[in-house]
Amino acid sequence: MSDNEFPNTVNSKVKSKLKEVSTATLTSQLLKRGFRNTFIPNLKPTRSDLQMVGYAYTLRYVPAREDFGMEVNYDNDKDVQRIAVESIGSEEVLVIDARSSMEAASFGHILATRLSMRNAAGLVTDGALRDSPRFSELEFPAYYQGAHATTSSIIHYPVDTNIPIGCNGVLVMPGDIVVGDAEGVVIIPASLAEEVAHDAYEQDLLEEFSLKKVKNGLSIKGVYPANKETFEEFQKSRKDK
């Protein structure tokens, strides 16, 4: 658990559902509740085969200046990025506000390895990764905007952790639930996580049911979205299992 412990907002049942649903379905459930802007655009996964679920642990960078940051040698006792790495708790996702800058890296492979060893749940940055090719070696999901070899201090000065941030234009509050799949990352307000997880799980089952019909040659009419008949058939099929 990190210094900024969050209440255990979601139980293991909720978590296991979030491990199975798609970010596409999650955004639909959030949209039904009025939330329009929850998917972080323009990110790609380092490991498209891993599903990421965790609590947001935020880290904010501001532009570096010759009197702040810009050291080539990092001081693990004072550098806020390094402190964050050694503070993050298990089940937490480090989410970085790097102002969407691609002028240098925002995070690297050795630090990500350390996150992984601390049982952090993942890494999300709206900036660049360095040593990006080696992220595929890690059994650890990371999402990033692109690659840049140059170390972060030339551009970024890390200033604080666990305050509200923007990540490619999406609000991330500390403790929000962060879910990532091969498509990208969605941010779920903690208070909605349980119901959204439940409804998304149900929606995914129903959509698989509809998809099977479409694959069998049926029109989408009545099938996707499901009308009353299709829905009843779906429910019956569930009971039969």
Within 6-65, the residues that bind its own copies by CB under 8 A are: 22-24, 26-28, 31-39, 41-42, 48, 62-65
**What amino acid is encoded at 66 in this protein?**
E
DSSP string, 189-235: -GGGHHHHHHHHHHHHHHHHHHHHHHHTT--STTBTTB-HHHHHHHH
Residues in 155-174 that interact with its own copies by CB under 8 A: 157, 159-160, 163-166, 169-171, 173
Stretch touching its own copies by CB under 8 A, among 4-12, 124-132, 194-202, 232-240: 124-132
**What amino acid is encoded at 227 in this protein?**
N
Least CB distance to its own copies at residue 162 (A): 12
Least CB distance to its own copies at residue 101 (A): 7
67-70: long-range contacts at Cβ-Cβ below 8 A with a sequence spacing of 24 or more? 68/157, 69/153, 69/156, 69/157, 69/158, 70/153, 70/154, 70/157
Query: Token match 């698989």: residue?
Result: 208
Least CB distance to its own copies at residue 31 (A): 6
Stretch touching its own copies by CB under 8 A, among 1-9, 79-87, 193-201, 231-239: 79-87
- Closer residue to its own copies, CB minimum distance, 13 or 164: 164
- Say if residues 46 and 138 touch (Cβ distance below 8 Å): yes
Among 147, 202, 205, 231, binds its own copies (CB under 8 A): 147
Least CB distance to its own copies at residue 121 (A): 18
- Alpha-carbon distance of 31 to 176, in angstroms, equals 16
The reply on whether position 73 binds its own copies by CB under 8 A is yes
Residues in 215-234 that interact with its own copies by CB under 8 A: 215, 217, 219-222, 224-225
Query: 225 preceded by cis ω (within 30°)?
Result: yes
**What residue spans of 5-149 are helical by DSSP H?**
12-18, 23-32, 80-85, 109-117
- Closer residue to its own copies, CB minimum distance, 14 or 60: 60
- Closer residue to its own copies, CB minimum distance, 85 or 94: 85
- Alpha-carbon distance of 12 to 16, in angstroms, equals 6
The reply on whether position 82 binds its own copies by CB under 8 A is yes
**How many residues belong to the site for its own copies (CB under 8 A)?**
86
